[in-house]
Amino acid sequence: MGVIKKQETGKLVEKEIKLFSTKNIFNNDIRQMLDEYKKFYTNVDILNFLHDEELVNTALSFFDNNLNISTTSKKTFMHRNTLVYRIEKIKKNVGLDIRIYSEAVLLENIIIFYRNIIQNI
């Protein structure tokens, strides 16, 4: 613990500052996130989805284009019906409808978390 002394209106005040190491942050926050997402990563269908780069990239493109089917299909040079089919396939496999904002955010967090944390452990 560090102590900072600072003078305020003629008085000497001591203020305690808590210092955190990255190890503590990793151990606490990441473990909590692992526990929350554990049910997703133990689901075989979700693991299959996370290993299917085509579907993952489709989902990420959809997220990047603000959940807009027309914009996503134009930017990815994909027919609109193909995109809708893939979104339905994601819904069937993962159980999340990524056209709904809250479910899209959850799936995007799962993908990012998986790519940045789980694959690197």
Q: What is the pLDDT of residue 117?
A: 75
Q: What is the pLDDT of residue 67?
A: 97
pTM: 0.65
Burial of 50 (0-12, 13-18, 19+ CB in 10 A): buried
Q: What is the pLDDT of residue 47?
A: 78
- What is the rounded average pLDDT of the residues 82-108? 93
- What is the rounded average pLDDT of the residues 37-43? 61
pLDDT tops 90 at residue 101: yes
Classify domain 2-120 at the CATH superfamily level: PucR C-terminal helix-turn-helix domain (1.10.10.2840)
| Extents of the domains making up the chain | 2-120
Give the residue ranges of DSSP H helices in the chain.
22-25, 31-41, 44-51, 53-64, 69-75, 80-94, 101-116
* Residue range 52-78, pLDDT digits in tens: 999 999 999 999 999 999 999 999 999
